[in-house]
Amino acid sequence: MSKTIFEKNSSGRKGYTLPKSDVNLKLEDCVPQNYLRKEEAKLPEVSELDVMRHFLELSQKNHCIEKGFYPLGSCTMKYNPQVNEVLVRNKGILNLHPFQDEDTVQGALRILFDLQQDLAEISGFSNVTLQPVAGAHGEFTGLKIMRAYHEAKGNSHKKKIILPDSAHGTNPASVSLVGYKMVEIKSNEKGMVDIEDLKAHIDDKVAGFMLTNPNTLGIFETQIEEIAKLVHSVDGLMYMDGANFNALMGYIKPGEIGFDIMHYNLHKTFSTPHGGGGPGSGPIGVRSDLAKFLPVPMISKNGNKYYFDYSHKETSIGKVHSFFGNFAVNVRAYIYLKMLGSEGLKRVAENALINANYVMKKLENHYYIPYKDIFCMHEFVANNKWQKEKSGVKTLDLAKRILDKGFHAPTIYFPLIVSEAMMIEPTETESKETLDEFIEAMIEIARESEDNPEILKNAPINTPVKRVDDTLAVRQLNVKFEM
């Protein structure tokens, strides 16, 4: 195990240089003594080389997209073009202050304006805000807009949000964050929304319906028109969780098939790096009559001049972020979209679908696939049913063994409606060759689970650490290094 940086400390060692202050003032002339810290913070004293070696050593213990395949369902871990990273590291992007005068940031505003327009165009919505900084942040913003819409109409009794039982965990959490009540409805035997169950819950109290389409089983909700009609019949709004937009781009515009609000996960669909957990970006698009509720400022254009638009401040839900969202992430999405163009978007969707269906087909005799009689979209769900029956192997064991084979594990134990689910999403950037290697490894693991299930139960063995005890971590909470 690597030492922590705190164990590499050597008193007096320095990892920085700074110019000497050329201002002739002392701290004690500036700040009264009683405002000064009594006990020094214990911060490391290490050299630049110490730091470089430390973090290089840590980096070697991570899986990343350039190292290998990441078949994570619902997370769309695609490859990120390097040009994004080079272009975004420009001082004219990184060293801009959000309070600069509009005249000095016209290029930045143009990028944001164009990205708003492009995202609106490809999704069929009239307006887009780039302010939310993560998918769940977009959900929150979208639900706030829903609320503002109903309140503007005097319908404050609308407090119910309907969700299918296959919804992402962030959906219910976002619902309660805005003070709404969640009503969960069942999926039918085809893995889609159960229309009868939906009908039973449709009433005047419904504020909206949150749906992921294609859903988290990788299935397109073919009854979307009927669902939208039902929800709209009580003046509820349709929210689309855009986590799976990868599958539809260029072919289907959510704004045209019944959705009123949608968030985009720029860090998934538009190839900005996941960063080990962020930063992301979660813009939302809305139909035209909801635009007045969007957070301020919007980026607008007057002739050739771009500006921060606060004109709808009175009706806006306000702000969800200090400034204008994750600008540097949005620039990456802008670059990606400009390089793909309309045809490129379609190619993305096509290859995402072909790759997913190919892997599903090749694995169908080796793993139980609950919904395999239809084509999946860009991902599918399998589980350990057969392995469990034969040798008691858990999906967790399968996942850990996959790590041993040099791949990241799929998303596991989600969606909740499939027992011990394993959600596989190859993405469009992976080649047939990689998929074949993955398929071969999966088949090998299925074989191992029959011949030698202990290997799986003790996996992983080829990783920087062996299986980590997460219950111990909770029982003996250790969340900082004691110096």
Partner 1 sequence: MPFISNTDKERKEMLAAIGVKKFEELLKDIPGKFIHQEPCCLENPLSELEITSRINELVSRNISTDDANSFLGAGVYDHFIPAAVDSIISRPEFLTAYTPYQAEVSQGTLQYIYEYQTLICELTGMEISNAGMYDGASAAAEAILMAVRKTKKFKAIIAETINPLYLQVIKAYTEGVEIELVMVPEKNGLVDLKILKDKLDDETACVLIQTPNFFGNLEDVFAIEPIVHSSKKALFIACVDPLSLPLLNSPAEYKADIVVGEGQSLGNFQSFGGPLFGFLATSLSLARTMPGRIVGASLDSDGNKAYCLTLQAREQHIRRVKATSNICSNQALCNLAATVYMCLMGKQGLKEVSEQSTTKAHYLAEKICKVDGFSMAFDAPFFKEFAIKTPIPASKIIQKLKHKNIFAGINMKQFGYENMLLVAVTEKKRKCDLDGFVNSLKEVSNV
Which residues, numbered 110-129, are part of the site for partner 1 (CB under 8 A)?
110-111, 118, 121-122
Q: How far is the CB of 188 from partner 1 (least distance, A)?
A: 14
Rounded Cα gap, residues 143 and 163, in angstroms = 13
Tokens of 422: 């394993």
Indicate the pairing of strand 261-264 with strand 284-286.
Answer: antiparallel
Got the DSSP string for 149-195?
HHHHTT-TT--EEEEETT--THHHHHHHHTT-EEEEE-B-TTSSB-H
Rounded Cα gap, residues 285 and 256, in angstroms = 12
Q: How far is the CB of 278 from partner 1 (least distance, A)?
A: 4
Site string for partner 1, 274-293 (x = CB under 8 A): xxxxxxx-------------
Choices 57-65, 230-238, 383-391, 448-456 (CB under 8 A): range interacting with partner 1? 57-65
Q: Is 240 in the site for partner 1 (CB under 8 A)?
A: no
Q: Is 392 in the site for partner 1 (CB under 8 A)?
A: no
**Smaller CB separation from partner 1, 72 or 442:** 72
Got the DSSP string for 365-411?
TTSB-TT-SS--SS-EEEESHHHHHHH---HHHHHHHHHHTTSPPPE
**Smaller CB separation from partner 1, 53 or 390:** 53
Q: Is 172 in the site for partner 1 (CB under 8 A)?
A: yes
Binding residue for partner 1, selected from 209, 220, 245, 293, defined by CB under 8 A: 220
**What per-residue string of b and e applies to 205-237 under the rule 16 or more CB within 10 Å gives b?**
ebbbbbbbbbbbbbbbbebbeebbebbeeeebb
**Smaller CB separation from partner 1, 91 or 451:** 91
Contacts of 344 (CB under 8 A, 6+ apart): 250
Binding residue for partner 1, selected from 207, 231, 335, 398, defined by CB under 8 A: 335
Q: Is 325 in the site for partner 1 (CB under 8 A)?
A: yes
Choices 47-55, 203-211, 285-293, 445-453 (CB under 8 A): range interacting with partner 1? 47-55
**Smaller CB separation from partner 1, 32 or 303:** 32
Q: Is 156 in the site for partner 1 (CB under 8 A)?
A: no
Q: Is 250 in the site for partner 1 (CB under 8 A)?
A: yes
* Side chain identity at residue 59, one-letter code: S
Pick out residues in 416-445 that bind partner 1 (CB under 8 A): 428-434
Pick out residues in 179-198 that bind partner 1 (CB under 8 A): 179-180, 182
Q: How far is the CB of 449 from partner 1 (least distance, A)?
A: 19
Rounded Cα gap, residues 234 and 158, in angstroms = 10
Q: Is 33 in the site for partner 1 (CB under 8 A)?
A: no
Q: Is 380 in the site for partner 1 (CB under 8 A)?
A: no
Q: Is 329 in the site for partner 1 (CB under 8 A)?
A: yes
**Smaller CB separation from partner 1, 78 or 388:** 78
Q: How far is the CB of 425 from partner 1 (least distance, A)?
A: 12
Cβ proximity of 376 and 356 under 8 Å: yes
Q: Is 101 in the site for partner 1 (CB under 8 A)?
A: yes
Rounded Cα gap, residues 146 and 182, in angstroms = 14
Binding residue for partner 1, selected from 186, 232, 321, 394, defined by CB under 8 A: 321
In sequence order, the β-bridge partners of residue 286 are: 127, 261
Got the DSSP string for 228-269?
HHHHHHTT-EEEEEETTGGGTTTT--GGGTT-SEEEE-HHHH
Contacts of 168 (CB under 8 A, 6+ apart): 74, 212, 216, 241, 243
Pick out residues in 452-481 that bind partner 1 (CB under 8 A): 458, 460, 463-470, 472-474, 476-481
Q: Is 230 in the site for partner 1 (CB under 8 A)?
A: no
Q: Is 447 in the site for partner 1 (CB under 8 A)?
A: no
Q: How far are the Cα atoms of 179, 215, 254 from residue 245, in angstroms, in the given order?
A: 27, 10, 9
Q: How far is the CB of 200 from partner 1 (least distance, A)?
A: 20
**Smaller CB separation from partner 1, 108 or 390:** 108
**Smaller CB separation from partner 1, 106 or 389:** 106
Choices 201-209, 233-241, 283-291, 324-332 (CB under 8 A): range interacting with partner 1? 324-332
**Smaller CB separation from partner 1, 135 or 285:** 135
Instruction: Give CA angle at 126 (348, 296), nearest 5°.
Output: 110
Contacts of 170 (CB under 8 A, 6+ apart): 135, 136, 139
Indicate the pairing of strand 261-264 with strand 237-242.
Answer: parallel
Instruction: Give CA angle at 167 (166, 169), nearest 5°.
Output: 120
**Smaller CB separation from partner 1, 290 or 409:** 409
Q: How far are the Cα atoms of 64, 98, 141, 243, 361 from residue 281, in angstroms, in the given order?
A: 20, 17, 12, 12, 33
Q: Is 340 in the site for partner 1 (CB under 8 A)?
A: yes
Q: Is the peptide bond before 460 cis (omega within 30 degrees of 0)?
A: yes
Binding residue for partner 1, selected from 155, 194, 300, 358, defined by CB under 8 A: 358
